Chain A
Amino acid sequence: MSFATTKSTKLAVVLTPAILCQCGCRGIQSALDPAGPQSRSISGHWWLLFWVCTVVFVLVVGFMLYGLWRSKIQTPNDAPVDPAKETRTTWYVSACVVATVVILFVFLVASLSTAKTIFSKPGGKPLEIEVTGHQWWWEVRYPDPDSSKIVVTANEIHIPAGQPVHILLKSADVIHSFWVPKLQGKMDLIPMHSNSLWMQADFPGVYRGQCAEFCGHQHAHMSFLVIAEPLADFNQWRDQQIQSGPPPADPVLRKGQHVFLSSSCVLCHTLRGTTASATLAPDLTHFASRHTIAAGTLSNDRASLERWIVNSQGVKPGNKMPPNDLNPEDLQNLLSYLGSLK
Chain B
Amino acid sequence: MQSALLEPKRVQLPEASASEDLAELERAWSNPRGIIGWLSHVDHQSIGKRYIVTAFIFLLFGGVEALLIRLQLARPENKFLGPDLYNQIFTMHGTTMMFLFAVPVMEGMGIYLVPLMIGTRNVPFPRLNSFGYYLFVIGGIFLYAGFLLNIGPDAGWFSYVPLAGPAFSPGKRVDFWAQMITFTEFSGLIAAVELIVTVFKMRAPGMSLDRIPLFVWGMLVQSFMVVFAMPAVMIASTFLLMDRTLGTHFFNPAEGGDPLMWQHIFWFFGHPEVYIIFIPALGIVSSIVTAFTRKSIFGYTAMVLSLVATAFIGFGLWVHHMFATGLPPLGASFFTSASMMIAIPSGVQIFCWLATLRNGTVRITVPLLFVFGFVFIFVLGGLTGVMVASVPFDLQAHDTFFVVAHFHYVLIGGSVFPLLGAIHYWFPKMTGRMMSETLGKITFWVVFIGFNLTFFPMHLLGLKGMPRRVYTYQPNLGWGALNLVATVGAVIIAIGGAIFIANVIISYKSGEMANGNPWGASTLEWGTTSPPPHYNFLYLPTVNGREALWSRSDDDPVVTGVRTDRRESLSTSILDARPDHRYPLAGPSIWPFITALAVTFGFIGSVFKGSLIFYGAGLSLVALIGWFWPRPSHNEQPERVEKGATESNDQVVARS
Contact = CB atoms under 8 A, between A and B. Distances in A.
Nearest to A185: B395
B440 to A, nearest CB: 18
B350 A60 contact: yes
B465 interface: yes
A104 interface: yes
Nearest to A76: B361
Interface string B31-57: 000000000000000000000000000
Contacts of B519: none
A188 B325 contact: yes
Given A46-B393, A53-B383, A100-B344, A21 B478 contact: yes
Nearest to B469: A214
Interface in B458-507: 463-474, 476-478, 480-482
A42 interface: yes
Contact of A111 (B358, B393, B478): B393
A104 B341 contact: yes
Contact of A317 (B83, B341, B351): B83
A246 to B, nearest CB: 31
A339 B349 CA distance: 65
A174 B396 contact: no
Nearest to B397: A31
A296 B254 CA distance: 30
Given A107-B390, A175-B163, A220-B470, A32 B357 contact: no
Interface in A24-64: 25, 27-32, 39, 41-42, 45-46, 49-50, 53, 56-57, 60-61, 63-64
Interface in B287-316: 293-294, 298-299, 302
A45 B354 contact: no
A140 interface: no
Contacts of B481: 22-23
Contacts of B259: 175, 190-193
Interface in B330-385: 332-333, 336-337, 340-341, 343-344, 347-348, 350-352, 354-355, 357-362, 364, 372, 375-376, 379-380, 383-384
Contact of B399 (A32, A212, A216): A212
A255 B441 CA distance: 73
Given A93-B352, A186-B395, A212 B379 contact: no
B326 interface: yes
B502 to A, nearest CB: 28
Interface residues of A, number: 90
A264 interface: no
Contact of B326 (A28, A39, A41, A193): A193
Interface string A177-195: 1010100111110111101
Instruction: Indicate the member of A53, A92, A195 with the most B CB atoms within 10 Å.
Output: A53
A111 B392 contact: yes
Contact of B359 (A49, A89, A117, A219): A89
A25 B464 contact: yes
A168 B253 CA distance: 19
B638 interface: no
B324 interface: yes
Contact of B387 (A22, A53, A187): A53
A74 interface: yes
Given A61-B375, A97-B344, A220-B471, A49 B387 contact: yes
Given A67-B357, A107-B386, A114-B392, A220 B83 contact: yes
B160 interface: yes
B336 A57 contact: no
Given A89-B298, A220-B470, A31 B326 contact: no
A115 B335 CA distance: 13
A67 B298 CA distance: 14
A49 B467 CA distance: 21
Contacts of B254: 191-192
Contact of B390 (A45, A60, A219, A296): A45
B554 interface: no
A90 B326 CA distance: 43
A112 B333 contact: yes
A104 B355 CA distance: 22
A146 interface: no
A219 B469 contact: yes
Size class of the contact patch on chain B: 35 or more
B351 A67 contact: no
A29 B473 CA distance: 12
Contacts of A110: 390
B433 interface: no
A57 B379 contact: yes
A218 interface: yes
Interface in A70-102: 70-72, 74, 76-78, 85-86, 89-90, 92-93, 96-97, 100-101
B466 to A, nearest CB: 8
Contacts of B184: none
Nearest to B380: A57
B398 interface: yes
A310 interface: no
A4 interface: no
B393 A71 contact: no
Given A22-B480, A49-B393, A115 B329 contact: yes
Given A29-B464, A71-B357, A212-B399, A115 B168 contact: no
B354 A67 contact: yes
Nearest to A174: B163
B280 interface: no
A46 B387 contact: yes
A175 B162 contact: yes
Nearest to B357: A67
Contacts of A85: 359
A122 to B, nearest CB: 15
A36 B299 CA distance: 49
6 contacts: A19-B478, A23-B482, A174-B162, A185-B324, A185-B394, A195-B326
Given A29-B465, A115-B332, A174-B162, 4 more contacts: A18-B478, A61-B379, A188-B325, A317-B82
10 A-B pairs with the lowest CB-CB distances in the bound complex, closest first: A185-B395, A29-B465, A220-B470, A67-B358, A111-B390, A22-B478, A195-B326, A192-B253, A53-B383, A114-B392
Interface of B: 82-84, 87, 155-156, 160, 162-163, 168, 253-254, 258-260, 293-294, 298-299, 302, 324-326, 329, 332-333, 336-337, 340-341, 343-344, 347-348, 350-352, 354-355, 357-362, 364, 372, 375-376, 379-380, 383-384, 386-387, 389-400, 463-474, 476-478, 480-482
